[in-house]
Chains A and B, each alone.
Chain A
Amino acid sequence: MANPVFDVCVIGSGPGGGIATYALASAGLKVALVESGPRLRAGIDYNAHAPVYEHLEARLSQGWGPVSSVSRDFGSTDHFVPVGDRSGHGLLRALGGRSLCWAGHSLRFGPLDYKRWPISYEEVAPFYSKAERLMAVYGSRDGLSNLPDGEFQKPVALRCAEQLLKGGVEKLKKRGRAMEFVGQRKAMPTEARPGQRATCHYCGNCMKGCEVDAKYTSANTPIPRALATGNITMFLESMMTRIIVRDGRVRAVSYVNKEGEEREVQCKNLVLACSAIETPRLLLHNGLCNSSGLLGKNLMSHFGVTVTALFPQLRNRDASHDAGTDYFHGLLTGLYWDQPSKDFEGTYQVQVGSGIPPRNLPIRNAPGFGESLKRDLREKNVIHATMGMQGMMLPSAGTFTDLDPQRRDRFGIPLPRVHLHYGQNEIAMARDMVGTCGEIISAAGGQVFLQPSTVSADTLGLDYNHYAGTARMGLDARTSVVDPDGCSHDVPNLWIGDSSVFPAYPEKNPTLTNIALSWRMSERLAERIKGDR
């Protein structure tokens, strides 16, 4: 057969690329999926239930929690160059990408969040609904103004300490404070339904890779469905290196396969969905889509500090099954939505976890040894709750990604540099979080056990799984990289289907919006192709 010309070539099979492949193949288009990693089988190639004898080095640096063969390399500096304040890059080269290792948190961005975007919440809402049904998201309908309810399966309950914190929030609300405490919303089925993935068995290992494929991944839901259409061809362990453009349009991409040979895929349209670091890196390397000079700029993520509480009233609680759907079951939200803070711009949410996760102890820093250590460790872990801040970062000139002039990967492509510097706004927001959590803990009858003694740039931790904003969408080609549909302003058949396109970033987790937007982008692309025929 002569080299086929695909309607669309999708690069990357993570949350954005997986859904794009499915949406495009379902529309009857011939799709090539190019993924730099191999196919990993849940429970065989990675298994978070197995005893963790291996990966000791990764566990030493990741706080001794269980690590699986897919989650061990996060934060390793082999595939990026950090500049400035602490950063990382949670890249995973495999079919399904980082959707293999995520906690499943699925929160819609709200109408207020979309005020900074060129599209409205109402335009994205139908895609949120479709995504939630496909992903099987559980949650409770809380009726909050800026965290819209979705198509939920039955919610998962809060644990003891989370319940107490909810009580603390209710007390503060009566005193006029604007905040809400709700259950988390996550992408794993809690109700058995025909034709759906297995229901969650509450083992608590979501982030390390779900070995029964209950948690949504690109590899277990959209890609198998796309394959069933017969419209896709997969190129695995194939690293896209060059985008071939003639007369202003993408004609093909070249990739290096497992054997190290360079090959080409001819395509009429190209979708890049490689993450907010990899997508700009590949475009910068190819000298494309940067007439605005904004490619790689406006890098945003989430950051925060952690406050740990102890609740003496839980000292004698019964043994319980604390694993659940990973650690964070509770969510403190609704802060500074309607009434902005005087001290900082933006807002944050707080993810709340408690209890003893499987094969792990959240608190390991009890001093000494012997019977007293044994008593102390048990008690602290049984009665603790952790409040993890997730604050929004404003885009700034100091925060961006570009190409390292020295270091290159094995394909000769420069490694991305991640430039990250915290400003006064982030520090003021984190100080507010420490104060607010202290009030909630004491209103709930607990005491603060661990918190940063002073909040400075050094104490802030970055969520390096949540990058966004490096190829922002907008109406004006001078101030944005893609249009509101996700199509490049510069190259009319090059589309971006990942969180790079976020023009602003609220406090909420990115994946559900990434998937909804990529689905919307794919439908627009399919309409355009059909219109051209």
Chain B
Amino acid sequence: MRRRDLVFLVPVLISAQDVDTTAQLADIILPGAARARVNFYIETTLRHAPQALQQQWARGLAALNEESRRRCGKTFAAASREEQTGIVAFMAQGEADPQSEIERFFVLAKRLAVDGYILSEEGQRDWLGVDSGAHGEFTGCDHPEHLRRP
């Protein structure tokens, strides 16, 4: 995350540190997500989301940092990539039937990360390899009077 990216962000919902945490979490779930700035998508989506979901996100971030401090004495954003991966693996254990706050947070974060990445240019072009622009048939000029050479 470059500093100048943060200028555009009005932290209605999450602080600058939360933005970093969100970006790094999304990137571990889907490598490339941070480069595609999926965190901006998550922030914007949550800003429009029902309050209950915003609160779930805030509780989830707190649970993530708590788990991180318990494991390595640092916040999630300050932990190494290896430590972060270990934490996400722990979160993902209950994916099929999430019970705890942190397990439910993984399911929500994954949904949002996938959603944001699909919408990004990198996700569309480099990951999925689809051309989803809308293209009607373009025939150009087919008027005989214009096609006739002088």
- Which A residues touch B49, using CB under 8 A? 56-57
Complex interface: chain A residues within 8 A of B118 (CB): 359-361
The residues of B that contact A318 with a CB separation of less than 8 Å are 129
**A51-B119, A361-B114 known; A373 and B130 CB under 8 Å?**
no
Contact residues on A (Cβ < 8 Å of other chain), bracket: 35 or more
Contact with A along B45-83 (1 / 0, CB 8 A): 111111001000000000000000000000000000000
Closest residue of chain B to A356 (Cβ to Cβ) is: B130
What is the minimal beta-carbon distance from A42 to any residue of chain B, in angstroms?
A: 14
> In the complex, how many angstroms separate the beta carbon of B119 from the nearest chain A beta carbon?
6
B111 at the interface (CB under 8 A from A): yes
Q: Are A201 and B127 in contact (CB under 8 A)?
A: no
* A-contact bits for B114-150, CB 8 A (1 contact / 0 none): 1100110000000111111111110000000000000
Q: Is B13's beta carbon under 8 Å from chain A?
A: no
**Given A359-B119, A359-B132, A369-B28, are A374 and B48 also a contact pair (CB < 8 Å)?**
no
A359-370 vs B, CB cutoff 8 Å, 1 = contact: the mask equals: 111001001111
Chain B contact residues: helix, strand, loop or mixed: helix
- The range of chain B's interface size is 35 or more
Residues 15-56 of chain B, each 1 if its beta carbon lies under 8 Å from chain A, else 0? 000000000000011111000000001001111111001000
Docked pose: A323 CA to B137 CA in angstroms? 14
Q: Which residue of B lies closest to A49 (CB)?
A: B134
Instruction: Assess whether A323 is in contact with B88, with CB atoms less than 8 Å apart.
Output: no
Contact with A along B98-126 (1 / 0, CB 8 A): 00000000000011001100110000000
Residue of A nearest to B108 (CB): A60
Say yes or no: B134 contacts A201, CB within 8 Å. Answer: yes
What residues of chain A lie closer than 8 Å to B95, measured between beta carbons?
Answer: 367-368
Q: Are A369 and B29 in contact (CB under 8 A)?
A: yes
Which of B115, B132, B137 lies in contact with A64, CB distance below 8 A?
B115
Asked if A203 is an interface residue, CB under 8 A from chain B, the answer is yes
A291 to chain B, nearest CB (A): 47
The answer to whether A321 touches B48, judged by C-beta atoms less than 8 angstroms apart, is no
A377 to chain B, nearest CB (A): 7
B41, chain A: closest CB distance, angstroms: 8
Q: Is A485 interfacial (CB-CB < 8 Å)?
A: no
- Residues in A with CB closer than 8 Å to B92 are 367-369
Per-residue interface assignment for chain A, residues 332 to 376, with 1 indicating a CB less than 8 Å from any chain B CB and 0 otherwise:
000000000000000000000001111111001001111101100
Contact B44 A319 (CB under 8 A): no
Which residues of chain B come closer than 8 Å to A370, judged between CB atoms? 28-31, 85, 88
Q: How far is the CA of A91 from the CA of B62 in the complex (A)?
A: 41
Residue of A nearest to B46 (CB): A56
Inter-chain CA distance A374–B41, complex, in Å, is 18
Are A202 and B135 also in contact (CB < 8 A) when A56-B48, A378-B128 are? yes
Contacts of B89 in A (CB 8 A): 369
Contacts of A136 in B (CB 8 A): none
B96 interface residue per 8 A CB criterion: yes
Whether B131 contacts A56 by the Cβ 8 Å rule is no
**Min CB gap B58→A, angstroms:** 15
Are B44 and A374 touching (Cβ within 8 A)? Answer: no
B85 touches A320 (CB 8 A): no
Q: In the assembled complex, which residues on chain A have CB atoms less than 8 Å from the CB atom of B114? A: 361, 364, 377
Interface string of A365-404 (1 = CB under 8 A from B): 0011111011001100110000000000000000000000
A60 to chain B, nearest CB (A): 8
- A289 near B: Cβ within 8 Å? no
User: Are the C-beta atoms of A202 and B136 separated by less than 8 Å?
Assistant: yes
Closest 5 CB pairs of A and B: A203-B134, A319-B129, A201-B136, A358-B132, A56-B49
Q: List 15 A-B contacts (CB under 8 A).
A: A52-B119, A56-B46, A57-B49, A57-B53, A201-B134, A201-B136, A204-B132, A319-B131, A322-B130, A356-B132, A357-B132, A359-B118, A361-B118, A373-B30, A377-B114
